[in-house]
Amino acid sequence: MDTKEPSEALQDYLQKHHNEMTKRYEAAIREVYTKLVVLKDDFSTLKKRDCISMIQSRIKSDASILEKLTRKGLPIQLDSIHSKLDDIAGIRVVCKFIDDIYMLVEKLSAQGDLVVIETKDYIKNPKPNGYRSYHMVVEVPIFFEGVKEYVRVEIQMRTVAMDFWASLEHDIKYKKDSCECEDIVEELKSCADTIATADQRMMELRDRVLNKRLQYQQNA
């Protein structure tokens, strides 16, 4: 490696290997996306309703990879990128109800060709500002020229209500050094708690409707 400043050298390195990296992470996203669609279709057939409202994916930009590697002091190597950074490939899954999320987690975890590396349950244990979501880091096998390689994908699962809060919280972009920061965080958490209560009530209402429908069918 030459004597350039680390960030400049890393930028050159990423640009050189951009296509190689991108095709692997795109292939991994397709694998996970396909699994999610199959689970969605299977659930729809069995339960007569959709458990997934939306699936979005993204690959972290070279600039974001550069910033994270530099911040963590990691080596300028593809092996380091693949093994140390879990969120280069990301998928966001927006579900209808909270229990749909845990159903998907269970079904994905049970698949033999998918390895769960890490989970973080921010639904049962929200972040201090009220953020709620379920995060999974998984590895899926990708085959290139007859060689099997496991590639990591981060999956974030949340309800429509959680996604609504997260999107607006991101748009607010409050300054952490602002004198109003503490008040803003408290307000955001209060809004998140209200939305979480509504999420729970909507799930309970759904169950009540389903139970009444079942009773009607049994009595018919």
Active site residues: 154
Report the C-alpha gap between 217 and 147 in whole angstroms: 54
Report the C-alpha gap between 116 and 11 in whole angstroms: 30
93 CB-contact burial (10 Å; exposed 0-12 / middle 13-18 / buried 19+): buried
Cβ neighbours for 204, distance < 8 A, ≥ 6 positions apart: none
Task: Please name the helix (run of DSSP H) or strand (run of DSSP E) that holds residue 72, with its range, or none.
Answer: helix 62-72
